[in-house]
Amino acid sequence: MQEAHSPPMRQWALVGVAGLAAALGAVSLALAGPHSADGPALRNLAEVNFVSGCRFSHRAPDDPIVAPGKPGASHDHSFVGNRSTNAFSTAETLLAASSSCRRDGDTAAYWMPTLLADGLPVAPLHATIYYRRHTLAEVQPFPPGFRMIAGDAKATSPQAKQVTFWSCGALAGIPPSSEVPTCPQDRRTSLRLHVRFPNCWDGVHLDTADHKSHMAYARRGRCPSSHPVALPAIALIYHYPVFGGPGVTLTSGGAYSGHADFFNAWRPDALASLVDGCLNALRHCGQGV
């Protein structure tokens, strides 16, 4: 286990317009009071986000979180974001590499198990990565070198849709599903796999043995006392050039084993600016260009 080198609860400096917006947002949340945690205050957070759009980078049977230093030891993964991600990746090597993401400063590494259609690998066209605020408390940026996994690579039955699900996109008229849907063959729709990461940190560990115990999901806008530090809530969505249906599986096994990994290698100043100027300022910043 690796310890974070900076105090977990840093104080935010509120500067200029963004600072004023953050202050007003904090006041409005405070005035809402504890009895309205699932009411108007939480609804105000619904569109608070920034987005990183990333193209597919590469595939490899590597996993620098689960099997660091062991190339070929994992099921095949499809990587987006950092172009250098492999079994030997570290925070330092990732930060020094280039990225397939459009958002300036996002050199983090993201990966999911590779999709198979009738046994053949299908690369995602691109990924949409939402960074949202799901807590009434202000959020902190991920510390450098932070790592986590969401979802269960060994699942043989449906996982909670809070964590992972399949879809065909908002225009398809098909609800999210644990089963692989058959999407309409329309240029506006395609198969997508969604994975949502937990957003409450224990404030101490950059990773844990199971790559999950240092994190928890917020409930009704609050983090549990065991994981008191609010972080951005990441939703990773892979978009595939296929329409789903029978024969679609994942290299981790079956269609229920959706999961994703996040290795933070954001340029720290860029991430801090987005967290303060978008999430803590209660703004919808949208897509990076």
Whether the CB-CB separation of 103 and 80 falls below 8 Å is answered with no
- The answer, yes or no, to whether residue 23 has pLDDT greater than 50, is no
| Structure confidence at residue 7 (pLDDT) | 39
Q: Which of 32-46, 102-116, 134-148, 203-217 shows the lowest mean pLDDT across its residues?
A: 32-46
Number of other CB atoms surrounding residue 2 within 10 Å: 13
Q: Give the HSE-up count for residue 51: Cα atoms under 13 Å, Cβ half-sphere.
A: 11
Q: Is residue 89 very low, low, confident or very high in pLDDT (cuts 50, 70, 90)?
A: very high
Whether the CB-CB separation of 217 and 200 falls below 8 Å is answered with yes
| Structure confidence at residue 40 (pLDDT) | 47
The per-residue pLDDT for range 26-73, each reduced to its tens digit, is 433 333 333 344 444 888 899 999 999 999 999 999 999 999 999 999
| Structure confidence at residue 288 (pLDDT) | 59
Q: What is the DSSP letter of 40?
A: H
Handedness of CA 124, 189, 54, 257 (dihedral sign): negative
Helices (H) and strands (E) in the chain, counts: 4, 16
| Structure confidence at residue 152 (pLDDT) | 98
- The answer, yes or no, to whether residue 1 has pLDDT greater than 50, is no
> pTM of this prediction?
0.86
d(C-alpha 12, C-alpha 145), whole Å: 21
d(C-alpha 160, C-alpha 195), whole Å: 10
Percent of the chain past pLDDT 90, that is, above it, reads 82
Beta bridge partners of residue 121, listed in sequence order: 116
d(C-alpha 250, C-alpha 180), whole Å: 11
Mean pLDDT of the 107-111 span:
98
